[in-house]
Each structure stands twice: as structure tokens, then as C-alpha cells.
Amino acid sequence: MFITGFPSYMTRAGLSDLRLGAFLFVVMVVASFPQLSDAAPGGKTEVLPIQKAAPAAVVIEAAGTEPELRRQMRTKNGVAELESGAVRFSLAPTGSYGFIAPKQLGLALVTQSPDLLLERVSTSSGSYEIHKLGDGSGLLVGFVGNEVVTQIKPSERLKSVRIVLYSNPFSKATTIAAVPLTKLMVDQMPRRIEPKQADGAVLLEMDLQGTANRKAPSQ
């Protein structure tokens, strides 16, 4: 009986050992996960935030008055007028637009400030319009010459493009355009075309980058 029962005993013992071995293997694998996640220098895993692609420039190639063109641009970008008198871009609701005075805009862009102070209505001549899209990104609205339209329309550029963005239509700059804030590099302040004309248009020279190099406004 001992000899007959021995194979059966060995089979049961082998199955028990197999189950035990499998259990220990699972425990070892699970226990190794924290070690893998702490493998980065300093003992902590560095999790990089997901970078959202900067929006492409928006251009409306149509004739019309300035109010009509601005209305078309707002409709295309899906934005509505701010409800409050003045608010920081970071606190402004998505899908809204406001205005910023030339000097404040210039300071913010030159210093690469992550936030902008928007006003519900323009309180100074030459103010620029800012759109906060549904995804929280920002567009700077102005007018450009027809010769630069083909340069700013592509969503991906191999190199930066030097452009002049006017606050209002001026001379041959009658095409309304909205360029992404995160792709703008500015090294000078906006300036009036006619210094002695206080209510005249303002121009701002800038580099429209091929990639989002500038810090995005706080959201």
C-alpha cells in the first residue's frame, strides 16, 4: 500500500509545491514595483506634465469693416465677451475674450509673464484683443499684411517668422489674424505708427516660433 500510494502522494506534493512557487513568484513581482518606480535619481520618479500643443494661427481672408472682421474671428474661435470688468487671463473663463493695453501687453510679452490682465472693453486706443479658447490656450488678435498670411497659416514651421501685428487695420494690413501666445517671442515694446496721433493704430514686431517656446499663460 505504501508503494501504491507513494506516486499519489508525490503528485499532491508536487501540485502543492507548484502552487506555492507560483504564489511566491507573484508576491516577488508585486513587491518589485515600488523599486522600479523609485529607480530615478534621487529615489523619486519624475513625472513630466503633458504638454498641450499650441494652437495654430487663425486667419480670416475676407473683406469687411473692422467690427465685422472681429465678429467673424470671435465666432470662429468660439469666444464671447467677458462678464467682469477686468480679470487675469488665468481667472478668465474659457471661451471668452478681452482687451489689453499696448504697454501692458508689451511688458508681459517681453518679460514672458505667464499671466495677462484683460479688460472687458478697450479702455485705451491701440489695445489688442485676447481670446481664451475652450482648452485654456490664448490667441493674440490683430491685423497683418497679405504678404505674411501664407507664412503664419501653417500649424508647423521649421523656423520662426518675423511678423508685424497691428492693433487695428492700417494701410495694407487689413487681414485679421489670431496668433498663439505660446509661440510669440518679443524683444521690443509696441509703438504707435504716428507718435503724435494718440488714438492711432499700434504695431508690434515679434517672432512667431515654430514650436511653443514661451511659457503658457496660467490656467
C-alpha radius of gyration, the chain, whole number: 30
Q: What is the pLDDT of residue 194?
A: 83
Rounded to 5 degrees, φ, ψ at 118 are: -100, 145
Is 53 within 8 Å of 179 (Cβ atoms)?
no
CA neighbours closer than 13 Å in the CB half-sphere of residue 146: 6
Residue with cell 502522494: 9
* pLDDT at residue 8 is higher than 60: no
Q: pLDDT digits over 96-112, tens only?
A: 999 999 999 999 998 88
Q: What is the pLDDT of residue 150?
A: 85
Return the sign of the alpha-carbon dihedral for residues 38, 41, 46, 48. negative
* pLDDT at residue 209 is higher than 80: yes
Q: What is the pLDDT of residue 54?
A: 55
* pLDDT at residue 50 is higher than 70: no
Instruction: Tell me the pTM.
Output: 0.71
Residue with cell 481670446: 131
Q: What is the pLDDT of residue 45?
A: 30
d(CA 159, CA 162): 10
Q: pLDDT digits over 20-37, tens only?
A: 455 444 444 434 433 333
d(CA 102, CA 191): 8
Q: What is the pLDDT of residue 214?
A: 54
Q: pLDDT digits over 10-21, tens only?
A: 444 454 555 545
Grid coordinates belonging to 77: 474661435
Q: How distant is the alpha carbon of residue 11 from its chain centre? A: 65
Contacts of 158 (CB under 8 A, 6+ apart): 210
Residue with cell 500510494: 5
Helix/strand/coil percentages in the chain, nearest 5: 30, 25, 45
Average pLDDT, integer, range 87-91: 93
Is 59 within 8 Å of 149 (Cβ atoms)?
yes
Using CA atoms, how far residue 188 sits from 22, 84, 165, 218, in Å, is 68, 30, 13, 23
Q: In the 8-state DSSP scheme, what is residue 113?
A: -
Q: How distant is the alpha carbon of residue 196 from its chain centre? A: 37
